[in-house]
Amino acid sequence: MSDAGAPVVRIGDPGGPYRRRIRTVAVDDGTVEGGLEDDFHHFEITLRHDRERVTSIESRSRRWPWSTCPDAAANLGPIEGMPLSTHCTAIAEVADPRMNCTHQFDLTGLCVSHAARHDQRRQYDAELPPAVDGITHPRLWRDGELVLAWTLSTRERGLVDSPPYDEAPWRGGFFRWADATLDPDAAEAAIVLRRACEIGMGRGMDLEAVDSAAELGPMMGAVCYTMQPSVMPVAFRNRGSIRDFARHPGALLEDQ
């Protein structure tokens, strides 16, 4: 995409909500194209299938925070051959999320569920406003319709006044809770917004001051490919890659 519509963010002055857009499109009977973009990431997936199983996956890294992020695409390989499923988390049964790029992995899962539904097009738009007195109100639109509006306490690190989602564990089991409690469409939406809330917390942090992922290792843990102990020391910051879409939501995935 062109950077003209989304200026580089001014660190420490986010000045508006974090935004994330995810779009999946069936371009023919056997191919789904997916795109994911936010302040920190822009990835694309082409998933091919025979209407029963995944036959191939191609990942393209357009913009990424660490030098090693594109390398994680090699670990999507085990997903080829898996049965299609309307559960976007089904790929975790055949591939290890911690050995993948979180965002490539999530997008691939959404492409799998899209193929299983035989939909033409689906788009998610997530918004996480800045917290006021420790409270923020994340929202999620699906195909232009508001489907989720939560109240999130950044101090308590959990949802409040958002039934039934406030019954879910915010950490250590939200995805499993969603899959077990909700129908596949509702679970997918909740998982998409939950991930956006987590990533959006990084908006305004001075990530450009971090030289390598090793500096964040103690805080992050081995949550993804780049944050593995053997990878962190060579995962260098891709400086100048942050964008600000707070006032430019239309620029997200604008060329897809």
Give the pLDDT confidence score for residue 256 in this predicted structure: 67
Q: What stretches of 51-131 show up as alpha helix (H) in DSSP?
A: 102-117
Domain assignment present for residue 101? The answer is yes
Domain assignment present for residue 188? The answer is yes
Give the pLDDT confidence score for residue 66 in this predicted structure: 96
Domain assignment present for residue 214? The answer is no
Residues in the chain, pLDDT under 50: 1-4, 9-12
Where do the DSSP E strands lie in 79-189?
Answer: 121-128, 135-136, 139-142, 145-149, 151-153, 158-160
Domain assignment present for residue 42? The answer is yes
pTM over 0.85: yes
Give the pLDDT confidence score for residue 4 in this predicted structure: 44
| Domain of residue 190, residue span | 3-203+236-251
Domain assignment present for residue 208? The answer is no
Token output for 45:
């997936």
Domain assignment present for residue 212? The answer is no
- CA dist list (Å): 63 to 67, 118, 136, 244, 253: 10, 29, 27, 13, 12
Domain assignment present for residue 219? The answer is no
Distance CA 106, CA 240 (A): 24
Number of domains comprising the chain = 1
Domain assignment present for residue 211? The answer is no
